[in-house]
Amino acid sequence: MISVTFEELIQNTIAFVKDELENAEGGHDWFHVERVYKNALLISEGENVNKTVVALGALLHDIADSKFHSGDETVGPKKARQFLKFQNVSEEIIAHVVKIIENISFKGGNRTQSFSSKELDVVQDADRLDALGAIGIARTFNFGGFKNRKLYDPEIKPNLKMTPSEYKASSAPTINHFYEKLLLLKDRMNTETGKKIAAQRHDFMEAFLQQFYAEWNGTR
């Protein structure tokens, strides 16, 4: 069996993901994956993890996001498995990467995670960090625009008890997403490095919201 080197495997994976995400919405495109990959490598420095699993998990975590594939959550894992098999990656690593892709999502917070590993912790933190701070704010409004949602509506209160499917189908104003998800993330971080970066990005979002309401209400 011909096997590729680690570097070749990473380069092939990057090319595959770029191609898969060619027409993705701006907040879930290749550059999102690139940021998550970098965050994951950074967080890995402080953790005892299999770097191949972390790298592949980060690079493949959002191919065929179910939000954009009529809710089918099996498309991404299947595509990743097929690709990794073609690259002659061992079954042990493929199985772990697929588990990461299947379990990474937040999904409204009321879904229990069925699998856990240090590598999943790292990739999940890396993905969550990209939902926070300045980039998190930009992605959220971009997604809201993509769905043609209002920026804000004082009459429509955040719903903290949504089921995963209601959450996905919601047409609530974009500001609500901060309360339904983004501001909850800092307390759900897995790693020490992740917690530290999340706390700082969380404060930035709180400051943004204060300024947003001040401007909304016509104050100087």
Residue ranges binding Ni ion (CB under 5 A): 62, 127
Q: Shortest gap between Cβ of 117 and ligand ADP (angstroms)?
A: 17
Residue 177 as a binder of ligand ADP (CB under 6 A): the answer is yes
Instruction: Indicate the residue among 9 and 198 with the shorter CB distance to ligand ADP.
Output: 198
CB of 1 to ligand ADP, least distance (A): 34
Distance from C-alpha of 147 to C-alpha of 67, rounded to nearest angstrom:
11
Q: Which is nearer to ligand ADP, 121 or 127 (CB)?
A: 127
Query: Under the criterion CB under 6 A, does residue 190 sit at the interface with ligand ADP?
Result: no
Check residue 158 and give left, alpha or beta (phi > 0: left; psi -120 to 50: alpha).
Answer: beta
3-state secondary structure of 220: coil
The 10 Å Cβ neighbour count of residue 54 is: 26
Residue 106 binds which entry of Ni ion, ligand ADP, none, CB below 5-8 Å type-dependent: ligand ADP
The least distance separating ligand ADP from the CB of residue 65, rounded to whole angstroms, comes to 6
Indicate which single residue of 20, 119, 121, 127 sits in contact with ligand ADP (rule: CB under 6 A).
127
Q: Are 32 and 102 spatial neighbours (Cβ–Cβ below 8 Å)?
A: no
Burial letters for 18-28: b for 16+ Cβ neighbours within 10 Å, e otherwise?
eebbeebbebb
C-alpha pair distances (Å), 117 with each of 50, 61, 62, 100, 213: 10, 15, 18, 8, 40
Shortest distance in whole angstroms from residue 88 CB to ligand ADP: 29
Of 13, 27, 96, 97, the residue at the interface with ligand ADP (CB under 6 A) is 27
Residue 106 interacts with ligand ADP (CB under 6 A)?
yes
Torsion of CA 177, 181, 187, 193, to 10 degrees: -90
Q: How far is the CB of 136 from ligand ADP (least distance, A)?
A: 6
Contact residues for ligand ADP, defined by CB under 6 A: 27, 65, 105-106, 127, 131, 136, 139-140, 143-144, 170, 174, 177
